[in-house]
């Protein structure tokens, strides 16, 4: 273990040497160093700045044409993922061939399984129009064919034949009956056969007067004739069926001619497409088989109207002809390159398409015309860009997308079908071969979660494009940033920024990045700042955006968001939240935390207290005990136990019971950035050394006593600065920060001015010993050759206190053993 | 005749005879169980309205049917099932009563809608004789030419058709489904009945506001001109739209072709027309496909 050595007299010097100079607190961008007067002079920037790795990955992902090489562009929002992807896709897609058109047509064999038809790009829409025109012509031509004298005559001949057949049969029966003096009588229900005499039916009383033989003969004749009548009645439906067949054949003859020459025209036009030729042949056969439908349409006077064709729902007056329509799912424009589709709402239906239904008399009906393509269809042969989060929150969308990519088929299925919830008649449209490159845009967490938990993910998304959230704050980066700002201003028709404004924006970008050596890659946030600055420039009547407008935009942004910060600081000032900024207290230190509210973060001090007593070597984290502390915070506290035991009680039991608490904290504590503050409080309590309350502390600590970097250092310093300033005059106040955080400092100008004036200090601390000396004004103390610390030093006092606890514990244990009890120091 | 019941619309009014031009003043619609059809009542009522005539309904309970029903071994056969069923007198009388009641109600409704004097009778007897008897009290008898259909395409000749074509008054023959005509066709050929045919046809067209088309045999241009001049003179006072249609041939086929081509018509013919001789009696309506008014 390395320990800094210090002495009582050396603490003041140590404090001074740790106090940072104003220049270290903020990296200023000198407007004079910028080689332009305003952004109007700068050329546009097409590339995303600082995203070389991601740009390479996107280029590779777009270029490679292999299954599974889909792209996941990961990174925080606002870093230009979509812009870079869009630009890359646009360039590549323009060089690629236009994919084919797709449409659905009726399946004349099985109407529930519509056929997907592939046509060269740009030919689907004309084909649809040609089919509409064909049907319109058929509507005229077929009824006209049936109105012709030839058809009428042939039909009459057929119908007449039936009538004659029937008439002849009845006449023959009637004659035969009359030969036997039997008449055919009409009854309300049908026919009857009765004996005749003198042309009239024999009266019952006359019949009874006939002799037995005569009566028997008549009855026998009538029974025989009744049998023939029955046979005749049974024969009539057969004749009618034969007539219907003949009529159907007649219709086919008539329609074949009418349809043949009409369909020849599209057949010629699409002779280069066998699939269309085959379809037209099916249409021709179907029209011929269903010619009556066209005839019925020409007879609107029918009260009940025409019924639907087989397999077709009755969807309006022209429903009968819907089966000949062409439902274009994808229509591309020739020579327009491959499609690039950005799907904003990647629901299952928007993605894979849907089958709509129409409510009709309480029933849901559909046909192939109600099939709607999805973005997968539109992007087929090109690229589809999706937001990963939006995709994942849509039920079934992610699973269906994966299934489509695995099978390389776009299959339209509704959510109801997938869940087997729908019992209405639906369709099974033929699947369409899929060749699409998917680009997912999402944050890193999603990428890592999918990597971890979805076994299909890596198989299907093999190209990660990892976008950096920060870029280097060097001369090259600075100029690229300036050009990016110039491009934005031009693209959005904002006022040009003068170089002071550019410098201020760059400083802000560094502050957002929380690093004086980096600039944020969240260009959307920077763009918002420039837009707001433009507004303030407009309010001020300026022709250019200047630094003051940027400053005002930043202040206004903070002002809009800092209600809670103001409230917290007010409560500290009013003494509701107990924070001391003067005096010195044993076992009490000002820790610093960051509160993130939306896109605004601010620091606030928290009182951390420590109490120690004889115990079993436990440091009790009260936050954890009441489940207000997160695991990282608890880890930090456990490190303290280890640090104390290893440093001060390596050779004897750590007979300590210490408790640590974030006072007035009710909302939970997470993170280990307060662990150094907690250690300082513990050491103060053990050494009975008061801690200066004019100072606050941030930084985590490891088992070796090294102070480690934390996040939000700027907000924390500014938070304590604001509290101290509000409490009165600044006088020797300050914040201890990890030395490794110095490079992250991009502090407000008022803080820097206070540091320059010597009223506020920022101490960069590497080790706990350095910090405790600054906080207590007492030397930490270095071990001598025997490993003992000077008695008056902090470490010496702590060591002595712990030795005292150990001795007390030993005594209690001895007394216990003497009494037969277990002692408290059995640890 | 076994007259049974009589319903009188306007009791006490004197019976009226044919008016000018042979316009019927008494229209009788005569039906039996085999030919009962609401459309016949409606069309008869419409003609009665046109002619300002009395409307009489006659429902004939066919004696042959009743006798058949009384014979225990006679069974009736329906077309749909082709199976025989029992056939007794009580049942058939009940059914006839029901049909007669329906016929009466239909006639009364049709007459009252048109504010016609009307009556209704039910008689029992032989169809031919009852028809002949009743027709003596009518100027126009309206009849169904064929029975109610047994099947989709199967109709048999109305039992009384033979008697109807021999009646002494004008006869209007119909088939179920035939409605009001949109024009009146008069088939004129040389013969004694032509004058009456033309007069009544013109009167019907005038009263109904319909066009009159005079169908004539092939004529030389000069003859045609003469015929046209005759018609112009003859129809001058009628104030109606008319035209002469000279057919390529004056036979049943040519006339039927014309009637089929030109929508819904009423074909007015002399009962002694040669056209009728060319067509079998039970094929009359099927041939011309329109109501047929036979003038004596």
Name chain A contacts of B85, Cβ cutoff 8 Å. Answer: 189
- Residues A67 and A461: their CA atoms lie apart, in Å, by 9
Q: What whole-number distance in Å separates Cα of residue A705 and Cα of residue A1?
A: 9
Per cent of chain B over pLDDT 90 is: 19
Q: How wide is the angle at C-alpha A288 spanned by C-alphas A284 and A292, nearest 5°?
A: 135
d(CA B262, nearest CA chain A) in Å: 13
A to B CB pairs, distance under 8 Å:
99
Cα–Cα distance measured from residue A679 to residue A771, given in angstroms and rounded to the nearest whole number:
10
Distant-in-sequence, close-in-space partners of A335: CB < 8 Å, separation ≥ 6 = A98
**Confidence check: pLDDT of B16 > 50:** no
**Averaged pLDDT, A80-100:** 91
Q: Is the pLDDT of residue A319 over 70?
A: no
SS (HEC) of A414-442 = CHHHHCCCCCCCCCCCCCEECCCEEEEEE
Please state, in angstroms and rounded to a whole number, the distance separating the CA atoms of residues A745 and A763.
12
Mean pLDDT over residues A677-686, rounded? 93
The pLDDT value recorded for residue B252 is: 86
Please tell me which of the candidates A190, A194, A219 has its beta carbon nearest to residue B68. A194
Q: Which residue of B has its CA nearest to A235?
A: B82
**Angle, CA A529 vertex, CA A523 and CA A535 arms, to 5°:** 140
- A190 interaction partners in chain B (CB closer than 8 Å): 76-79, 150
User: Can you tell me the mean pLDDT for B189-196?
Assistant: 65
Mean pLDDT throughout A395-405?
Answer: 93
pLDDT above 70: percentage of residues in chain B: 86
* pLDDT (0 to 100) of residue A423: 62
Q: Which residues of B204-230 are buried (b: 16+ CB within 10 A; e: fewer)?
A: bbbbbebebbbbbbebeeeeeeebbee
B150–A191: do the CB atoms touch at under 8 Å? yes
pLDDT above 60: residue A314: no
3-state class percentages of chain B: helix first, strand second, coil last, to nearest 5: 40, 25, 35
Distance CA A86, CA A82 (A): 6
Give the number of C-alpha atoms closer than 13 A to the C-alpha of residue B188, restricted to the C-beta side: 27
Q: What tokens appear for A25 in the block?
A: 């607190």
Q: What's the Rg (C-alpha) of chain A?
A: 46
B44 vs A651 pLDDT, higher one: B44
A190 to B150: CB separation less than 8 angstroms, yes or no: yes
**Sequence-separated contacts (24+) of A162-167 with Cβ below 8 Å:** A162/A239, A162/A240, A162/A243, A162/B153, A163/B153, A163/B286, A165/A239, A166/A236, A166/A239, A166/B153, A166/B154, A167/B282
- Closest residue in B to A234 (Cα) is B82
Q: What average pLDDT does range A564-583 have in this prediction?
A: 89
Condensed to tens digits (0 to 9), the pLDDT of residues A141-153 reads 888 888 777 888 8
- Catalytic pick among A81, A659, A716, A793: A716
Max mean pLDDT among A81-95, A114-128, A185-199 falls in: A114-128
pLDDT at position A500, please?
94
Instruction: Count the residues in chain B.
Output: 296
Confidence of residue A16 (pLDDT cuts 50, 70, 90): low
If you average pLDDT over residues A77-106, what whole number do you get? 91
* Minimum Cα–Cα distance from A215: chain B residue: B73
- Long-range contact pairs involving B284-287 (C-beta distance under 8 Å, separation at least 24): B284/B145, B284/B173, B285/B145, B285/B146, B285/B173, B285/B174, B285/B175, B286/A163, B286/B175, B287/B252, B287/B256
Residue A370 predicted with pLDDT over 70: yes
Q: Is the pLDDT of residue A276 over 60?
A: yes
Asked whether the predicted pLDDT for residue B10 surpasses 60, the reply is: no
pLDDT at B155: 67
pLDDT in tens, A543-554: 999 999 999 999
**Dihedral (Cα; A286, A291, A292, A293), 10-degree rounding:** 60
Q: What is the mean pLDDT of residues A237-253?
A: 87
B44-50 contacts at long range (C-beta below 8 A, 24 or more positions apart): B44/B110, B44/B142, B44/B172, B45/B107, B45/B110, B45/B111, B45/B113, B45/B114, B45/B116, B46/B114, B46/B180, B47/B140, B47/B142, B47/B172, B47/B204, B48/B111, B48/B114, B48/B116, B49/B114, B49/B116, B50/B204, B50/B207, B50/B208
Give catalytic status of residue A659 as yes or no.
Answer: no
Which of residues A698 and B253 earns the better pLDDT score?
Answer: A698
Please tell me the distance in Å from A292's CA to the nearest CA on chain B: 18
The span from the CA of B295 to the CA of B168, in Å, is: 9
Confidence bin at A360 (pLDDT 50/70/90): confident
Set of chain A residues whose Cβ sits within 8 Å of the Cβ of B99: 188
Q: Is the pLDDT of residue A721 over 50?
A: yes
The pLDDT assigned to A422 comes to 62
- Position A464 confidence tier, pLDDT thresholds 50, 70, 90: very high
* β-pairing verdict for A437-442 and B170-174: unpaired
Residue of B nearest to A232 (CA): B82
**Range in A182-191, A267-276, A457-466 the model is least confident about:** A182-191
Whether B105 and B59 have beta carbons less than 8 Å apart is answered as: no
Model confidence over A21-41: pLDDT tens digits? 999 999 988 999 899 999 999
The pLDDT assigned to A305 comes to: 41
Q: Which two tokens stand for residue A583?
A: 């005096």
- What average pLDDT score do residues B150-159 get? 66
Closest residue in A to B97 (Cα) is: A188
pLDDT tens digits for range A485-528: 999 999 999 999 999 999 999 999 999 988 889 999 888 889 99
Quote the pLDDT of residue B3: 38
User: How many other C-beta atoms are found inside a 10 Å radius of the C-beta of residue A558?
Assistant: 12
Residue A424: pLDDT band by 50, 70, 90 thresholds?
A: low
B205: part of which helix (H) or strand (E)?
helix B194-208
pTM of the predicted model as reported, rounded to 2 decimal places = 0.65
* Test the B interface: residue of A151, A162, A168, A187 with most B CBs within 10 Å: A187
Residue B8 has pLDDT above 50, yes or no: no
- For strands B2-8 and A700-701, give the pairing: unpaired
- C-alpha pair distances (Å), B121 with each of A199, A202, B8, B62, B85: 25, 26, 9, 14, 30
- Please compute the mean of the pLDDT values over residues A598-602 and round it to a whole number: 86
Write down the mean pLDDT value for chain A. 87
Most A-contacting residue of B153, B159, B175, B288 (CB-CB within 10 A), to test interface: B153
Quote the crossing angle between the two packed helices A563-573 and A713-727, to the nearest 10°: 40
Q: How confident is the model at residue A256, as a pLDDT?
A: 85
Buried b (16+ CB within 10 A) or exposed e, A376-413: bbbbbbbbbbbbbbbbbebebbbebbbebbeeeebbbb
| Residue A717 pLDDT greater than 90, yes or no | yes
Residue with tokens 């029966």: A173
Contact yes or no for B77 and A243 at CB 8 A: no
Whether pLDDT at A375 is above 50: yes
**Rg of chain B on CA atoms, in Å:** 20
Q: Select which of A516, A655, A673, A793 is catalytic.
A: A673
What does pLDDT average to over chain B? 81
CA distance A55 to A62: 11
The residue-averaged pLDDT of A673-681 equals: 91
Say whether B76 and A190 touch across the interface (CB within 8 A). yes
Instruction: Point out the least confidently predicted range of A68-82, A239-253, B275-289.
Output: B275-289
Q: Residue B43: which of B148, B155, B175, B236 has the closest Cα?
A: B175
* Contact at CB, B151 and A240, closer than 8 angstroms: yes
CB distance B202 to B164 below 8 Å: no
Cross-chain residue pair B67–A186, CB shorter than 8 Å: no
Which band of pLDDT confidence, cut at 50, 70 and 90, is reported for residue B4? very low
What is residue A11's predicted lDDT score, i.e. its pLDDT? 60
Residue B6, token pair as written in the block? 């009589």
Tell me if residue A716 is catalytic. yes
What number is the ipTM of this complex?
0.81
A221 has a pLDDT exceeding 50: yes
Task: Summarize pLDDT for A2-14 with one digit per residue, the tens.
Answer: 333 334 445 656 6
Query: In sequence order, what E strands does A4-160 have?
Result: 71-74, 101-105, 115-119
CA pair distance B233, A512, nearest whole angstrom: 111
How close is the nearest chain A Cα to the Cα of B5, in Å? 21
User: Given a cut of 50, is residue B14 above it in pLDDT?
Assistant: no
Helix, strand, coil shares of chain A, percent, nearest 5, are: 50, 15, 30
Tokens of A9: 């007299």
Residue A194: which of B34, B64, B83 has the nearest Cβ? B64
Q: How far away is chain B from the Cα of A167, in angstroms, using its nearest Cα?
A: 8
**Closest in B33, B73, B154 to A222, CB measured:** B73
Contact (Cβ atoms closer than 8 angstroms) between residue A601 and residue A718: no
Cα–Cα distance list, B165 to A129, B135, B172 (Å): 60, 12, 10
Chain B residue whose CA is closest to A200: B64
CA-wise closest residue to B132 among B163, B173, B171, B174? B163
The answer to whether the CB atoms of B126 and A200 lie below 8 A apart is yes
Which of the pair, B146 or B143, is modelled with greater confidence?
B143
DSSP state of A322: G
Residue A185 pLDDT more than 80? yes
Show residues of chain A in contact with B154, CB under 8 Å: 166, 236
Name beta bridge partners: A330: A102
CB B56 within 8 A of CB B111: no
State the pairing for strand pair A191-197/A200-201.
Answer: antiparallel
pLDDT recorded at residue A367: 87
Instruction: Note the pLDDT of residue A541.
Output: 93
B78 and A189 within 8 Å at the Cβ level: the answer is yes
**Set of chain B residues whose Cβ sits within 8 Å of the Cβ of A226:** 75, 77, 84
Taking every pair of Cα atoms in chain A, the longest distance, rounded to a whole number of angstroms, is 160
How far apart are alpha carbons B245 and B262 in whole angstroms? Answer: 12
How far apart CA B193 and CA B198 sit, in angstroms, is 9
Q: What is the pLDDT of residue B2?
A: 39
Beta-bridge mates of residue A19: A763
pLDDT band of residue B98 (cuts 50, 70, 90) is very high
Candidates A155, A171, A173, A194: best to mutate against B (most CBs of B within 10 A) is: A194
Mean pLDDT for A282-286 is 91
Which of the residues A192, A229, A235 would you substitute to probe the B interface, choosing the one with the greatest number of B C-beta atoms within 10 Å? A192
Could you tell me which residues of chain A have a Cβ less than 8 Å from any Cβ in chain B?
Answer: 159, 162-163, 166-167, 170, 183, 185-195, 200-204, 207, 219, 222-223, 226, 229-230, 233-234, 236-237, 240, 243
Q: Which of B34, B35, B61, B67 to mutate to test the interface with A (most CBs of A within 10 A)?
A: B67
Residue A192 has its nearest CB partner, among B75, B147, B154, at B75
Question: Which chain B residues touch A if contact means CB-CB below 8 Å?
Answer: 33-34, 62-65, 67-71, 73-79, 82-85, 87, 92, 95-96, 99, 126, 147, 150-154, 156, 159, 282, 286
């Amino acid at each position: 273990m390395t320990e800094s050595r210090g002495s009582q007299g050396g603490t003041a010097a140590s404090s001074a040497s740790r106090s940072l100079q104003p220049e270290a607190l903020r990296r200023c961008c000198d407007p004079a160093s910028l080689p332009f007067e305003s952004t109007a002079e700068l050329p546009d920037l097409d590339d995303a700045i600082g995203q070389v790795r991601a740009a390479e990955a996107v280029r590779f992902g777009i270029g490679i044409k292999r299954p599974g090489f889909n792209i996941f562009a990961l990174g925080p929002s606002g870093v230009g993922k979509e812009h870079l992807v869009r630009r890359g896709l646009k360039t590549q897609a323009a060089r690629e061939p236009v994919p084919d058109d797709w449409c659905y047509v009726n399946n004349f064999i099985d109407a529930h399984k519509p056929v997907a038809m592939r046509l060269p790009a740009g030919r689907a829409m004309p084909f649809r129009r040609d089919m509409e025109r064909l049907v319109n012509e058929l509507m005229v031509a077929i009824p006209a064919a049936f109105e012709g004298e030839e058809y009428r005559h042939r039909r009459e001949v057929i119908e007449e034949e039936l009538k004659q057949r029937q008439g002849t049969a009845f006449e023959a029966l009637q004659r035969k009956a009359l030969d036997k003096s039997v008449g055919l009588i009409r009854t309300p229900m049908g026919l009857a056969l009765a004996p005749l005499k003198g042309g009239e039916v024999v009266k019952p009383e006359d019949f009874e007067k006939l002799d037995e033989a005569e009566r028997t003969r008549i009855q026998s004749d009538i029974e025989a004739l009744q049998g023939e009548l029955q046979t005749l009645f049974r024969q009539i439906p057969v004749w009618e069926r034969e007539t219907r067949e003949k009529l159907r054949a007649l219709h086919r003859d008539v329609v074949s001619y009418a349809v043949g020459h009409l369909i020849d025209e599209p057949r010629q036009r699409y002779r280069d497409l066998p699939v269309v030729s085959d379809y037209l042949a099916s249409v021709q056969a179907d029209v011929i088989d269903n010619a009556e439908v066209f005839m019925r349409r020409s007879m609107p006077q029918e009260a009940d109207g025409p019924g639907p064709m087989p397999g077709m729902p009755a969807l309006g007056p022209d429903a009968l002809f819907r089966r000949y329509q062409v439902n274009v799912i994808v229509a591309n424009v020739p020579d327009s390159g491959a499609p690039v589709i950005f799907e904003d709402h990647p629901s299952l239906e928007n993605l894979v398409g849907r089958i709509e239904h129409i409510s009709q008399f309480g029933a849901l009906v559909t046909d192939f015309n109600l099939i709607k393509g999805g973005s997968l269809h539109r992007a087929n042969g090109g690229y589809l860009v999706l937001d990963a989060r939006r995709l994942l929150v849509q039920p079934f969308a992610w699973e269906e997308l994966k299934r489509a990519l695995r099978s390389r088929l776009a299959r339209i299925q509704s959510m109801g079908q997938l869940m087997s919830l729908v019992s209405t008649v639906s369709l099974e449209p033929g699947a369409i071969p899929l060749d699409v490159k998917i680009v997912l845009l999402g944050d890193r967490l999603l990428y890592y979660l999918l990597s971890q938990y979805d076994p299909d993910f890596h198989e299907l998304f093999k190209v990660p494009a990892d976008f950096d959230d920060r870029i280097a704050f060097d001369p090259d980066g600075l100029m690229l940033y300036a050009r990016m700002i110039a491009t934005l201003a031009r693209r959005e028709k904002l006022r040009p920024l003068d170089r002071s404004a550019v410098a201020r924006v760059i400083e802000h970008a560094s502050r957002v990045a929380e690093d004086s050596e980096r600039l944020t890659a969240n260009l959307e946030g920077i763009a918002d700042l420039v837009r707001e600055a433009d507004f303030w420039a407009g309010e001020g009547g300026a022709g250019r955006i200047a630094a003051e407008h940027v400053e005002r935009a930043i202040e206004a942004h903070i002002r809009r968001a800092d209600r809670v910060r103001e409230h917290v600081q007010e409560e500290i000032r009013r003494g509701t939240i107990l924070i001391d900024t003067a005096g010195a207290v044993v076992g009490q230190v000002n820790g610093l935390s960051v509160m993130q509210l939306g896109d605004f973060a601010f620091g606030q001090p928290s009182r951390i207290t420590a109490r120690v007593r004889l115990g079993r070597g436990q440091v009790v984290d009260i936050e954890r005990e009441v489940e207000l502390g997160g695991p990282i915070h608890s880890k930090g506290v456990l490190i303290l136990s280890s640090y104390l035991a290893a440093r001060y009680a390596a050779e004897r039991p750590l007979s300590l019971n210490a408790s640590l608490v974030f006072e007035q904290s009710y909302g939970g504590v997470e993170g280990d950035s307060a662990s150094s503050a907690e250690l300082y409080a513990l050491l103060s309590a053990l050494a009975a050394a008061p801690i200066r309350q004019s100072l606050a502390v941030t930084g985590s600590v490891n088992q070796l006593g090294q102070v480690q970097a934390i996040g939000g250092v700027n907000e924390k310093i500014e938070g304590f600065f604001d509290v101290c300033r509000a409490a009165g005059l600044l006088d020797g106040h300050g914040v201890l920060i990890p030395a490794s955080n110095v490079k992250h400092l991009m502090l407000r100008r008022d803080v820097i001015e206070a540091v320059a004036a010597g009223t506020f200090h920022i101490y960069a601390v590497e080790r706990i010993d350095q910090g405790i000396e600054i906080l207590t004004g007492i030397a930490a103390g270095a071990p001598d050759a025997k490993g003992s610390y000077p008695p008056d030093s902090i470490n010496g006092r702590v060591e002595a206190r712990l030795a005292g606890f150990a001795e007390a514990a030993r005594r209690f244990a001895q007394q216990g053993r003497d009494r037969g009890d277990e002692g408290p120091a059995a640890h | 005749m076994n007259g049974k019941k009589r319903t009188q619309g306007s009791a006490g009014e004197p019976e009226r005879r044919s008016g000018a031009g042979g316009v019927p003043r008494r229209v009788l619609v005569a039906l039996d169980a085999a030919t009962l059809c609401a459309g016949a009542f409606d069309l008869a009522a419409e003609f009665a309205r046109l002619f300002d005539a009395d409307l009489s309904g006659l429902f004939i309970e066919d004696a042959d049917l009743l006798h058949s029903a009384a014979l225990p071994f006679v069974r009736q056969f329906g077309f749909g099932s082709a199976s025989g069923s029992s056939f007794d007198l009580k049942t058939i009388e009940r059914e006839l009563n029901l049909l007669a009641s329906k016929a009466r109600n239909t006639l009364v409704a049709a007459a009252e809608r048109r504010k016609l004097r009307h009556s209704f009778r039910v008689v029992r007897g032989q169809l031919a004789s009852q028809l002949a008897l009743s027709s003596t009290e009518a100027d126009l008898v309206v009849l169904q030419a064929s029975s109610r259909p047994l099947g989709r395409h199967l109709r048999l000749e109305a039992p009384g058709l033979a008697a109807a074509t021999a009646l002494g008054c004008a006869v209007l023959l119909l088939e179920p489904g035939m409605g009001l005509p949109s024009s009146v066709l008069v088939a004129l050929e040389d013969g004694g009945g032509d004058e009456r045919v033309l007069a009544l046809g013109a009167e019907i067209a005038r009263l109904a506001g319909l066009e009159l088309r005079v169908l004539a045999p092939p004529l030389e241009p000069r003859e045609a001109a003469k015929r046209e001049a005759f018609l112009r003179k003859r129809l001058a006072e009628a104030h109606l739209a008319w035209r002469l249609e000279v057919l390529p041939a004056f036979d049943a086929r040519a006339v039927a072709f014309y009637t089929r081509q030109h929508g819904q018509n009423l074909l007015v013919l002399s009962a002694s027309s040669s056209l009728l001789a060319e067509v079998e009696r039970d094929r009359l309506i099927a041939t011309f496909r329109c109501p047929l008014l036979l003038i004596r």
